[in-house]
Structure 1
Amino acid sequence: MKIYVDADACPVKDIIIKEGTNLGIPVVLVTSFSHFSTEIQPSGVEIIYVDTGTDAADYRIMKLAKKGDIIVTQDYGLASLGLPKGCIVLHHKGFAYTNENIDQLLQTRYLSAKARKSGKRTKGPKPFTEEDRGKFKKLFIQTLKEATS
């Protein structure tokens, strides 16, 4: 099992790295070259840099991920590709993508994009909060326990 992180804008990388490496689970951060860093990562953490093109990180994650791996992303499209592959897919706001909720999430995204194209203003995502951070940490730890037992 590995943990793949759509890392460009992921606000919970520290939680993922700490909890994953504590259990000896490899963590793979997939990010664009525009987020290049010389920061040394702990043992068990790999950074893969991809082009800055749209969905480049998503395509790389899907190429690498296997059944039973964990993917952390806020991208509904990536989540919709990971689920049928047998991956566990989590959002950084503390919920799991499932076969039961992904269609509704994609439909909402589609309708918002359609409204924006017609000139309407739509609300963006709510700001990330400490409550969201706590929800993610709790879900992530529980997910790791279930996946490793």
Structure 2
Amino acid sequence: MSIYVDADACPVKAEVEKVGTRHGVKMFIVSNGGLRPSQNPLVETVIVPDGPDIADMWIADRATTGDVVITGDIPLAAKCVEAGARVLKHNGEALTQANIGNILATRDLMADIRAADPFRQGGGKAFSKSDKSRFLDALERELRATKRA
């Protein structure tokens, strides 16, 4: 069992390290760079070359059944779910076989809507303390469930 973190713009890297360390799980923090490597022996910082979706491809090529992937990238999540990995968004929402199709379709629809309205401003809601709390709880549950499986 390993934890893979799509670390570019990930607000829960420290939380993943805390929970992963408590469970003794190997963690891969994957990004294009700009991250301070952890001194934790369970954490491997993986720096991939610049380019679109290179970090995503690195994770997708390795994540499999028994692994947990942390990402906000829905196409990456879909690939990992298909490979049998458990996937969590930064707010603790689990992405599964049961919901990934609808989430992917909604993402594509929203991208089309944003592209059609060049004057649309704003983005998603800000990451909150309650999101962090839900994430910690969800990660703990996923790691326990993975160990039982």
Q: Distance in 1 between matches of 2:35 and 2:134?
A: 28
Q: CA deviation at 1:40?
A: 3.8
Q: Distance in 2 between matches of 1:23 and 1:70?
A: 13
Is 1:2 aligned to 2:5, yes or no? Answer: no
- In the alignment of these two chains, the number of paired residues is 147
Root mean square deviation of aligned Cα: 1.5
Q: Which residue of structure 1 lines up, in the alignment, with residue 142 of structure 2?
A: 143
What runs of 5+ residues in structure 1 fail to find an aligned partner? none
Letter in 2 for 1:28: F
Structure 1 length-normalised TM = 0.92
What does 1:121-136 align with in structure 2 at a 5 Å threshold? Answer: 121=120, 124-136=123-135
Q: Which residue of structure 1 lines up, in the alignment, with residue 84 of structure 2?
A: 86
% same residue: 37
Letter in 2 for 1:56: I
Q: Which residue of structure 1 lines up, in the alignment, with residue 19 of structure 2?
A: 19
Seen in structure 2, the aligned counterparts of structure 1 residues 40 and 80 have a Cα distance that, compared at 3 Å, is closer
Letter in 1 for 2:26: P
What runs of 5+ residues in structure 2 fail to find an aligned partner? none
Q: Distance in 2 between matches of 1:43 and 1:36?
A: 16
Is 1:116 aligned to 2:102, yes or no? Answer: no
| 2:38–2:45 Cα contact (<8 Å) kept | no
